[in-house]
Amino acid sequence: MTFDPGTPAPDVVADDHALSAWLAEVAGRRLLEVREEGLTGKELKNAGDQAAHELLMELLAQYRPDDAVLSEEGKDDKARLDAAKVWIVDPLDGTREFSEPPRDDWAVHVAVWQDGDLVAGAVAQPELGETFNTGTPPVVPARTSTRPRIAVSRSRPPAFVEALAAELDAELVPMGSAGVKMMSVVRDVADAYVHAGGQYEWDSAAPVAVARSAGLFTSRVDGSELRYNQDDVYLPDVIVCRPELSEQILAFVAAHGTEA
């Protein structure tokens, strides 16, 4: 059966914030459908990556034909470097978790870069029925934990984060997708996400855009600005945290580095 994404309202098409949220939500619905097709393991991973990528490329070609696109699953067309606007997408962030139903810690990322910076973005967590977006910036709840909580990879947490946790007397909270980890700070499931190594622009663009809109602190681990639509899309490190934790985290990294 052919998937029908529906037609967005004219006001959604006219606004990058609203369109990014709609695109992420629609791709998420497509992925939920793929999850019900009876595939497992690598076949499910590949089917999810392909289905979400193809749908997003089709819809962006329809609704933003003049904009460039950078997708994890697509060829990197360097023409984007001369474009005024670039959509940076990760059609399925957390492919491993997606392939392990009923896990819900996977996401769809859709971000918009324009004239040098992120200007819009959305992160859909389909199994939660949530799409966090810059059009309606999330309100971060008051912190409910007495100890800081740091979101980390459930499979390969950076070693230095354990030392950081000891320094802050923090609890480590394992979970999947990078976007899910960053949204966990938005949701008061964690208070910080600190990562170094093995990420690219599409891993963090949309979550960083949403986190910024919610008033959270974002930077690279050395405190420098996160830059997108670069010639080299490798962007290995990121901090997303409640503002009150940023100085302690940056001071620890400055003193100890990320090789511990």
List phi, psi (to 5°) of 255. Answer: -80, -35
**Does residue 4 form part of some domain?**
no
Residue 198 has pLDDT above 90, yes or no: no
Q: Are 22 and 120 members of one domain?
A: yes
Separation CA 20–CA 18 (nearest Å): 6
Q: Residue 260 — pLDDT band, cuts 50, 70, 90?
A: low
Q: Which residue has the tokens 């059966």?
A: 1
Domain carrying residue 210: 149-256
Q: Residue 23: which CATH number?
A: 3.30.540.10
Q: Is residue 226 part of a domain?
A: yes
Question: What percent of the chain shows pLDDT beyond 90?
Answer: 95
The residue out of 133, 164, 199 marking a domain boundary is 133
Same domain, yes or no: 155 and 236: yes
* pLDDT class of 213 with cuts at 50, 70, 90: very high
Res 185 pLDDT > 60 = yes
pLDDT at 2: 83
In a domain, residue 144? The reply is no
What mean pLDDT value characterizes the chain?
Answer: 96
> What are the angstrom distances between the C-alpha of 70 and each of 60, 80, 87, 107, 156?
11, 8, 6, 17, 26
pLDDT exceeds 80 at position 182:
yes
**Is residue 140 assigned to a domain?**
no
Q: What is the pLDDT of residues 66-96, one digit of tens each?
A: 999 999 999 999 999 999 999 999 999 999 9
User: What's the total number of domains in the chain?
Assistant: 2
Q: Is the pLDDT of residue 23 over 60?
A: yes
Tell me, yes or no, whether 117 and 171 share the same domain.
no
* Position 1 pLDDT exceeds 70: no
CA distances from 221 to 85, 159, 224, 255 (A): 26, 14, 7, 12
How confident is the model at residue 106, as a pLDDT? 98
Let me know if residue 138 belongs to a domain. no
The pTM of this model reads: 0.96
Q: From CA 38, how far away is CA 90, in angstroms rounded?
A: 23
Please tell me the distance from the alpha carbon of residue 93 to that of residue 108, in angstroms, as a whole number: 6
Cβ(72)–Cβ(14) below 8 Å: no
Following DSSP, what letter does each residue of 100-125 receive, concatenated? STT----EEEEEEEETTEEEEEEEEE
pLDDT tens digit string along 235-259?
A: 999 999 999 999 999 999 999 998 7
CA dist 124 and 29 (Å) reads 10
pLDDT digits (tens, 9 = 90+) for 32-50: 999 999 999 999 999 999 9
End residue of a domain, out of 109, 133, 157:
133
pLDDT digits 0-9 by tens, 131-160: 999 999 999 999 999 999 999 988 777 789
